[in-house]
A and B are shown apart, each in its own frame.
Chain A
Amino acid sequence: MNAVLDTAPLIRFEQVWKTYGEGDMRVDALAGVSLSVESGEFVAIMGPSGSGKSTTLNIIGCLDAPTSGTHRFLGDDAGALDRGRRAGLRNMHIGFVFQGYNLLPRTTALENVELPLVYRGIKARERRERAAQALAEVGLSGREHHTPAQLSGGQQQRVAIARAIVSKPTLLIADEPTGNLDTRRGHEILELLTGLNRQQGLSIVMVTHEPDIAAFAQREIGFVDGCIAYDRARAGVS
């Protein structure tokens, strides 16, 4: 793209505001947030309910644009792009993992994982190979033809992670990925994510409520009332 790419951080927020509603109903979900995330980082976002964590994640994921301020992705002003270009950015660079898995029902694991490649216009054969490989990476070989209803919560979340990484994204975004799982399954998921981060250099931004889950990340950002309360590297990791 340009020379900035090499030096620019992966994500940069400059005085980002996000406002919902008007007049008395006005809510500042984000009130002047500035932050930056470098390529290869694993960041956990913490904070009480309603503090603006999901809002931040939606903007980082190019699903939404700030009301004011700038959101740069790889140096480009992503907030200023139109919907079509934002969709293109998501497709090329970003993988999503949600709390509720959000797999397509009545669609096999393999087909769910193939979907991002479908929207990239990749041929069926290559799609199938890459999807099968991604499922293998999350430890689900042999479950290709199961539908979500035939998989446990932990397995469904693995399918969702496979779907998020199948297109070899730059950044993986996870909004409470362990929110629906018990501690043991949650830790397994986090081990998987940590592995992807360490071995493949995949950047991860994850929202969580649980300190033990946040402990897997290298850096923790705390939100309160739409502002950053703290931003610190975790002890013992670097």
Chain B
Amino acid sequence: MLQQSVRLALLSITRNKLRSFLTLLGIIIGVAAVIAMLTIGSGVREKMHADITALGSNQVFVSAGYRFEPGSPPRDAARPLASEDYRMLARRLVDVQATAAVARKSLRAIFGPNSTQVSAVGVTQDYLRIRNWKVTRGRAPTRAEMESGAGVCLIAPAVSKALFGSDSPLSARIRIGQMTCTVIGLLAAKGGSLFTDEDNTVVLPLEAYQTRIAGNRHVESIVLTARPGIMTARIKREAEAAFRQIRRIAPGQDDDFQAEDMTEIIKFTTDTISTFTALLGAIAGISLLVGGIGIMNITLVSVTERTREIGIRMAIGARQGNILSQFLVEASILSLIGGLLGIGLGLAIAWGATLLIGIPFVPSIFAILCLSGVSMMIGVVFGFFPALHGARLDPIEALRHE
């Protein structure tokens, strides 16, 4: 019985391929949106997890700015952090393993006729170690070069390729904005992460960056790493207390700086993804509703077209339930086909997107099964009323129908 219904349904669907396809667009788009969203979402999460692990989860970041709340002053209204703040903070904290200060700016790097846009980053001594960033050729700056602000720099692979092609960049002098520096080392490839693309980085001593590029003593952020066994939350608390004193913030006044540990950054990113997901989910929901109405419509058309057939079936002994289930099976198979097409399209979109933004492609079997089930349910739910209409036809009227 069911087998017969399925065969009949497939027959009537394939007989009207174009019509069936157009009917299914809503469901295809809706399901594709959900699948793409879920697949990209889990790729982002996986990538984020990997990035954060690579970055080290024992870090606390301090930057200037007020806590983000409705009505709070904008971030750049806060006093910037200064090198002096960093030095005092680094001296006071006892539970930190390493500290670094960072400032950065997007500039053009020029060598002979070649030039490229780079992210010039001024850093203190421990930065590369904290970031676990290796120098593959040449060497890192010495402590003396760091402290004196010598005109030396390290370049990332993309910069080297843009300026020197396959030649060795070592000992070459390049221009970065107003400054000239000697390339002393080549940084390892970091690849793009969700947060930045670091392969176009030029690393300089912070001292040199401040005096020759920024023209001020500001620091964009301070990175602190906890000693093994120390919670980042504790480092964060200590840093906040110390920084209020260093920056002379009166009791009761808001912090004009923010210390964030990795858990907060993870939470922020996750929240952003969730908002995005909810939005896409709403679009997908509307699309599925439209798809369902399409199924309802096509089932009604099918019932009307086959009124005579319904009459014949009733005359030879079909009960209302037989007719009802025949059209329900047809509606749900139709929407299942839509669902499967949507899953295929969604996976294709997700695959393209993950390739484009450089995150892993992680399709979820669970989501695929769920969505197949959901599409079938859409057929059952939206096909029900037209199918019932067909089942309730009067056999004589139906037989007389042309």
Residues of A whose CB lies within 8 Å of any CB of B are 58, 61, 63-64, 83-84, 87-88, 90-92, 95-96, 98, 102-104, 106, 115-116, 118-121, 124, 163-164, 167
Q: Would B320 and A96 count as touching, CB distance under 8 A? A: no
Per the bound structure, the CA–CA distance linking A115 and B11 in Å amounts to 16
Q: Which of B3, B11, B15, B319 contacts A88 (CB 8 A)?
A: B319
Asked whether A104 and B312 contact (CB < 8 A) given A58-B396, A83-B320, the answer is yes
Q: Would A163 and B316 count as touching, CB distance under 8 A? A: yes
Q: Would B317 and A120 count as touching, CB distance under 8 A? A: yes
Is B144 interfacial (CB-CB < 8 Å)? no
| A interface footprint on B371-402 (CB within 8 Å = 1, 0 otherwise) | 00000000000000000000000011001000
Is B313 interfacial (CB-CB < 8 Å)? yes
Q: Would A87 and B319 count as touching, CB distance under 8 A? A: yes
Chain A residues within 8 Å of B315, by CB = 61, 63, 90, 96, 102
Give how many A-B residue pairs fall within 8 Å (CB-CB).
60
Asked whether A118 and B314 contact (CB < 8 A) given A58-B396, A64-B396, A84-B320, the answer is no
Q: Would B11 and A96 count as touching, CB distance under 8 A? A: no
Is B22 interfacial (CB-CB < 8 Å)? no
Chain A residues within 8 Å of B311, by CB = 102
Residues of B whose CB lies within 8 Å of any CB of A are 1, 3-4, 11, 15, 308-309, 311-320, 322, 395-396, 399
23 A–B pairs (Cβ distance < 8 Å), ordered by A: A58-B396, A63-B314, A63-B315, A63-B395, A64-B395, A83-B320, A84-B319, A87-B318, A90-B315, A90-B316, A96-B315, A96-B316, A98-B399, A102-B311, A102-B312, A104-B312, A106-B15, A115-B316, A116-B317, A119-B313, A119-B316, A119-B318, A167-B317
How many whole Å from A205's CB to the nearest CB in chain B? 15
Per the bound structure, the CA–CA distance linking A106 and B10 in Å amounts to 13
Q: Would B309 and A119 count as touching, CB distance under 8 A? A: no
Chain B residues within 8 Å of A121, by CB = 1
Q: Would A87 and B317 count as touching, CB distance under 8 A? A: yes
Chain A residues within 8 Å of B1, by CB = 118, 121
How many whole Å from A43's CB to the nearest CB in chain B? 19
Q: Would A116 and B316 count as touching, CB distance under 8 A? A: yes
How many whole Å from B316's CB to the nearest CB in chain A? 5
Q: Which of A106, A115, A120 contacts B313 (CB 8 A)?
A: A115
Q: Would A63 and B319 count as touching, CB distance under 8 A? A: no
Per the bound structure, the CA–CA distance linking A104 and B309 in Å amounts to 7
How many whole Å from B262's CB to the nearest CB in chain A? 63
**Nearest A residue (CB) for B391:** A83
Chain A residues within 8 Å of B318, by CB = 87, 91, 119
Per the bound structure, the CA–CA distance linking A58 and B399 in Å amounts to 11
How many whole Å from A168's CB to the nearest CB in chain B? 13
How many whole Å from A29's CB to the nearest CB in chain B? 11
Q: Would A63 and B396 count as touching, CB distance under 8 A? A: yes
Chain B residues within 8 Å of A106, by CB = 11, 15
How many whole Å from B315's CB to the nearest CB in chain A? 5
Chain A residues within 8 Å of B308, by CB = 102
Which 3 pairs from chain A and chain B are nearest by CB?
A91-B317, A119-B317, A87-B319
How many whole Å from A34's CB to the nearest CB in chain B? 22
Per the bound structure, the CA–CA distance linking A102 and B316 in Å amounts to 11
How many whole Å from B302's CB to the nearest CB in chain A? 14
Which of B11, B15, B316: most chain A Cβ within 10 A? B316
How many whole Å from A171's CB to the nearest CB in chain B? 13
Chain B residues within 8 Å of A87, by CB = 314, 317-320
Per the bound structure, the CA–CA distance linking A79 and B258 in Å amounts to 85
Chain B residues within 8 Å of A118, by CB = 1, 4
**Nearest A residue (CB) for B312:** A102
Per the bound structure, the CA–CA distance linking A116 and B313 in Å amounts to 8
**Nearest B residue (CB) for A89:** B317
Q: Would B11 and A90 count as touching, CB distance under 8 A? A: no
Per the bound structure, the CA–CA distance linking A120 and B316 in Å amounts to 10
Q: Would B312 and A91 count as touching, CB distance under 8 A? A: no
How many whole Å from B4's CB to the nearest CB in chain A? 6
Chain A residues within 8 Å of B313, by CB = 115, 119
**Nearest B residue (CB) for A166:** B316
Per the bound structure, the CA–CA distance linking A88 and B399 in Å amounts to 18
Chain B residues within 8 Å of A102, by CB = 308, 311-312, 315, 399
How many whole Å from A17's CB to the nearest CB in chain B? 17
Chain B residues within 8 Å of A103, by CB = 312
Q: Would A90 and B309 count as touching, CB distance under 8 A? A: no
Chain B residues within 8 Å of A63, by CB = 314-315, 395-396, 399
- 11 further A-B contacts with Cβ under 8 Å, apart from A83-B320, A119-B313, A119-B319, are A63-B395, A64-B396, A84-B320, A87-B320, A98-B399, A104-B312, A106-B15, A116-B316, A116-B317, A118-B1, A121-B1
**Nearest B residue (CB) for A116:** B316
How many whole Å from B223's CB to the nearest CB in chain A? 73
How many whole Å from B243's CB to the nearest CB in chain A? 81
**Nearest A residue (CB) for B318:** A119
Per the bound structure, the CA–CA distance linking A64 and B394 in Å amounts to 9
Per the bound structure, the CA–CA distance linking A119 and B315 in Å amounts to 11
Per the bound structure, the CA–CA distance linking A115 and B316 in Å amounts to 8
How many whole Å from B372's CB to the nearest CB in chain A? 27
Chain A residues within 8 Å of B3, by CB = 124
**Nearest A residue (CB) for B398:** A63
How many whole Å from A95's CB to the nearest CB in chain B? 8
How many whole Å from A158's CB to the nearest CB in chain B? 16
How many whole Å from A19's CB to the nearest CB in chain B? 15
**Nearest A residue (CB) for B321:** A84
Chain A residues within 8 Å of B11, by CB = 106
How many whole Å from B71's CB to the nearest CB in chain A? 68
**Nearest A residue (CB) for B316:** A116
**Nearest B residue (CB) for A173:** B315
Chain A residues within 8 Å of B319, by CB = 84, 87-88, 91, 119
